[in-house]
Amino acid sequence: MAARRGPATLLLVSIDGFRADYLDRGYAPHLARWAAEGVRAQWMTPSYPSLTFPNHYTLVTGLRPDRHGIIHNTMWDDELGGFALSRREAVGNGAWWQGEPIWVGAEKAGLRTATMFWPGSEAPIQGVRPGRWQPYDAAVTNEARVDTVLGWLSESEATRPHLATLYFDRLDKAGHDHGPDSPEARQALGDIDAALGRLHEGLATRGLLDRVNVVVVSDHGMAPLPPSQLLDAESMVAPEDARLVASGESVGFAPLPGRREAAEAQLLGRHPHYECWRKQALPAHWHYGQHPRVPSIVCQMDEGWAAQPRAVAEKRRQMGMRGAHGFDPALPSMRAVFVARGPAFARGRVLRPVDNVDVYPLLTRLLGIPSAHTDGRADTFNAVLVTE
């Protein structure tokens, strides 16, 4: 085989909501092929809370949400105001995004980067955006996303990105709308896996299979959420005593002025289906509660339960079985996937479970750039990397 020119390109792929056990159920044969041709972890443990934006940003910074500031999909900052996935002006405001994502480090090192919808990539972080980025658009098909990335990777050495990212969201949506074990979720996963097959064929046709290191991850898993297991947030604490900051599975409350004692009396401690703590007293293994954006009181719902404002909960009870994440990251239902193949990786290796903060040090190593400060371990993947 002819020697390739230049360093291998790195492609980071996320399949939002891909639960680790899906890989062994035969639902994703193309991804299973990549695992057999490269490496996989038994599973990857997400960071707390096991939600989309916090964990996607952890994967590219190596920092816990409590450190990088994206502490929930919904947040409040006294200076910046409110943050939600639907607030495009907030998502694109670099002040929310702390730490140094991999594309910023790569750009600072003189490498070219291109991102496809990765959370955080729409904002200038440290004043830096990816060389190429796109505003999130759920209507873009899986095939179009793959073709865009293949177009980037097919460019000449002079313009081809050294780092590219690719993001698939439809498995997560199907899991939320119908449940993680539904035919709809399985179909969505099959469609994404077919897109991975398209990617594999495109790389092979272009002679790029041995020139691209592909790392496939997910942000979290998914658990069933029966309609009878939705609580009204107003039943947890009187609205005149505390403001609901974040709902769902990791629920945050801010006591109103002069009402802290009353709010804490209603919330703190163990309840049927959930438990609440002051932010400073959260379980240590969650590494959570120090960032000023974390609400004063955090309630963690038991697996399969959620809390929403009454109007939202009433509507969702009519929808039948759904799916949810945001539960304790240690639960099997929350386990994420890690698969990698390419010239830097050994063939047919299986790693013990890994922590998602360890992915960022791997990415910097594959790119050959300095690592910013991280909560991850640099040696987690040593055993599966080809000796340089």
Question: Closest Cα to residue 243, out of 124, 70, 76, 110?
Answer: 76
The verdict on residue 369 lying in a domain is yes
**Average pLDDT score over the chain:** 95
List the catalytic residue out of 52, 113, 115, 380.
52
Residue 274 has pLDDT above 90, yes or no: yes
Give whole-number Cα distances, 114 to 12, 94, 98, 217, 291, in Å: 11, 18, 20, 18, 30
Examine the domain organization and report whether 184 and 94 are in the same domain: yes
pLDDT of residue 7: 66
Q: Which amino acid is at 150?
A: L
Residues 175 and 146 both lie in one domain: yes
Look at residue 2 and tell me if it is in a domain. Answer: no
Domain-embedded: residue 3: no
Is residue 52 flagged as an active site residue? Answer: yes
Q: What is the pLDDT of residue 5?
A: 43
**221 pLDDT above the threshold of 80:** yes
Which residue reads 């009187």 in tokens? Answer: 238
Domain membership flag for residue 195:
yes
pLDDT at 86: 86
pLDDT of residue 388 exceeding 80: no
Confidence of residue 194 (pLDDT cuts 50, 70, 90): very high
Which of 285-307 are b and which e, b meaning 16 or more Cβ less than 10 Å from the residue's Cβ? ebbbbebebbbbbbbbbbbbbbb
- pLDDT band for position 8 (50/70/90)? confident
Distance CA 53, CA 16 (A): 10
Supply the DSSP symbol for 375: S
Rounded to an integer, what distance in angstroms lies between the CA atom of residue 162 and that of residue 11? 8
User: pLDDT tens digits, residue range 55-93?
Assistant: 999 999 999 999 999 999 999 999 999 999 888 899 999
Judgement on whether residues 76 and 49 belong to the same structural domain of the protein: yes
Asked if residues 241 and 250 have their Cβ atoms less than 8 Å apart, the reply is no
Q: What is the total count of domains within the chain? A: 2
Average pLDDT over residues 324-331: 98
pLDDT of residue 290: 97
Please, which residues bridge with residue 25 across strands? none
How is 91-115 classified by DSSP, letter by letter?
HT-GGG--S--HHHHHHHTT--EE-
Looking at the fold, whether 233 and 179 belong to one and the same domain comes out as no
| Residue 61 covered by a domain | yes
Encode pLDDT of 97-119 as tens digits.
999 999 999 999 999 999 999 99
**Are 307 and 340 in the same domain?**
no
User: Which of 288, 320, 352 represents a domain boundary (last residue)?
Assistant: 320
Asked if the structure places residue 325 within a domain, the reply is no
The alpha carbon of residue 13 and the mean position of all alpha carbons in its chain are separated, in whole angstroms, by 11
Could you tell me the residue range of the domain that residue 361 belongs to? 9-222+330-384
Band of pLDDT at residue 3, cut at 50, 70 and 90: very low
**Percentage of residues in the chain having pLDDT higher than 70:** 98
Whether pLDDT at 6 is above 80: no
φ and ψ of 224, to 5 deg: -65, 145
* 241 and 364 assigned to the same domain: no
Q: Which of 302, 320, 338 is the last residue of a domain?
A: 320
Say whether both 218 and 334 belong to one domain: yes
Whether 174 is covered by a domain: the verdict is yes
Residue 2 has pLDDT above 50, yes or no: no
Considering the domain architecture, whether residues 312 and 356 belong to the same structural domain is answered as no
pLDDT band at 32 (very low <50, low <70, confident <90, very high): very high
Residues 27 and 160 in one domain: yes
Residue 75 domain-assigned? yes
Angle between helices 170-178 and 183-205 (to 10 degrees): 170
Residues 270 and 136 in one domain: no
CATH at residue 25: 3.40.720.10
Judgement on whether residues 121 and 250 belong to the same structural domain of the protein:
no
Q: For position 25, what pLDDT does the model report?
A: 93
pLDDT band at 50 (very low <50, low <70, confident <90, very high): very high
Asked which of 320, 348, 376 is the last residue of a domain, the reply is: 320
Helices (H), the chain: 29-37, 52-61, 65-68, 88-91, 102-108, 142-153, 170-178, 183-205, 260-267, 310-317, 359-367
Q: What is the pLDDT, as a whole number, of residue 4? A: 36
Name the DSSP class of 227. Answer: G
For helices 142-153 and 183-205, the axis angle rounded to 10 degrees is: 20
Please check whether residue 125 is in contact with residue 101, taking contact to mean a CB–CB distance below 8 angstroms.
Answer: yes
Backbone phi, then psi, for 353, in 5-degree steps? -55, 140
Q: Are 20 and 74 in a shared domain?
A: yes
CATH number of the domain enclosing 292 = 3.30.1360.180
